[in-house]
Amino acid sequence: MTNILEIHQLTKTFSDNIAVDGISFNVPQGKCFGLLGPNGAGKTTTIEMMEGIIKPTSGEIRYSGRTIDSIYRQEVGIQFQHTAIQDFLTVKETLEMFSQFYDKTIAVEKLIETCSLESILDRDTRKLSGGQRQRLLLALAILNDPKIVFLDEPTTGLDPQARRNFWQLVNRIKQQNKTVLLTTHYMDEAESLCDEIVIMDQGKIIEQGSPQALLAQNFEGVMVSLPKQASEFLTAAGFEFQLNHNRVEIVTTQVEKIVRDLLGKSISLDGMQIRSPDLEDLFIKLTGHQLRG
């Protein structure tokens, strides 16, 4: 598999604070690569160095085998978390205006189709919903037909339906053999979209690989979950468990035995849930705290 980006011993310091601490990883071409971590983990600084916005203190970023340069900056597209759009223009006028900023662009008609903008072309950009605005920003990010697309928390604040609609657009972009780099706090988003992920904490990489492989390596079985108030009874009865938000969870490969043991200790099963481990469970296991802070 060809790597489009190679990150080697990347470090960034601000005064006496080490934001990114000597991390290395490769990004495969044509895949969706996720960078996960809580606020302060160093992922935003890492992404900004990869985008070419800030310079590393040390280390190297190589694009298709060479140091990033002016050509690289022409071949990436970025959807920032917060982007200002010119007021009093329609969606179509905005696309046409931004098209004038580049020598090479995707045809506006193709952008409209790829990002599902047909129904809002004549709408004032000030009157767009959150999901409609993100679709427009995605179109602007791929306007220059980039080989790499950076998406920084693209679905934050969107309702569940709008988030899933956006995922469909990202998959369309992947089908065009573009590489997508995604930062997100939504674990279902990372599991759905990402072919490979890096999990960061305190400026270091603590795990990397495909979501499915990482979960398989770190968990066996399922999570039996009970309301938090069951914790004192579980402790008294000698059960091993972990806290996750307002729930207590037991990892087991023997659900029926756990249920019998709980009933045998007269522990109520009211509110019990059974689910498969996810990436947030993995993060808690690795760091001892939750991914969303």
Q: What is the pLDDT at residue 105?
A: 92
Cβ atoms of 19 and 45 closer than 8 Å: yes
Q: What is the pLDDT at residue 293?
A: 45
User: What parts of the chain have a pLDDT lower than 50?
Assistant: 293
pTM of the model: 0.87
C-alpha 76: how far from chain center = 18
| Nearest to 221, CA basis, from 159, 281, 175, 161 | 281
182 with 200, same domain? Answer: yes
CATH number at residue 106: 3.40.50.300
Q: Indicate whether 168 belongs to any domain.
A: yes
Q: What is the pLDDT at residue 81?
A: 75
Q: Indicate whether 290 belongs to any domain.
A: no
Query: Could you write out the three-class secondary structure of 112-150?
Result: HHHCCCHHHCCCEHHHCCHHHHHHHHHHHHCCCCCCEEE
Q: Indicate whether 124 belongs to any domain.
A: yes
205 with 269, same domain? Answer: no
39 with 122, same domain? Answer: yes
Q: Indicate whether 128 belongs to any domain.
A: yes
Q: Indicate whether 179 belongs to any domain.
A: yes
Number of domains the chain contains: 2
134 with 240, same domain? Answer: no
Q: Indicate whether 116 belongs to any domain.
A: yes
Strand order in the sheet with 76-79: 76-79, 148-152, 179-183, 32-36, 196-201, 204-209
238 with 103, same domain? Answer: no
165 with 262, same domain? Answer: no
133 with 89, same domain? Answer: yes
Q: Indicate whether 156 belongs to any domain.
A: yes
Last residue of a domain, one of 166, 191, 215: 215
130 with 195, same domain? Answer: yes
149 with 227, same domain? Answer: no
242 with 178, same domain? Answer: no
225 with 211, same domain? Answer: no
45 with 69, same domain? Answer: yes
Last residue of a domain, one of 215, 240, 255: 215
Tens of pLDDT along 75-130? 999 998 778 888 899 999 999 999 998 888 999 999 999 999 999 999 999 999 99
Q: What is the pLDDT at residue 84?
A: 82
Query: Could you write out the three-class secondary structure of the chain?
Result: CCEEEEEEEEEEEECCEEEEEEEEEEEECCCEEEEECCCCCCHHHHHHHHHCCCCCCEEEEEECCEECCHHHHHCEEEECCCCCCCCCCEHHHHHHHHHCCCCCCCCHHHHHHHCCCHHHCCCEHHHCCHHHHHHHHHHHHCCCCCCEEEEECCCCCCCHHHHHHHHHHHHHHHHCCCEEEEECCCHHHHHHHCCEEEEEECCEEEEEECHHHHHHHHCCCEEEEEEHHHHHHHHHHCCCCEEECCEEEEEECCHHHHHHHHHHCCCCCCCCEEECCCHHHHHHHHHCCCCCC
Domain around 271 = 220-276
Q: Indicate whether 255 belongs to any domain.
A: yes
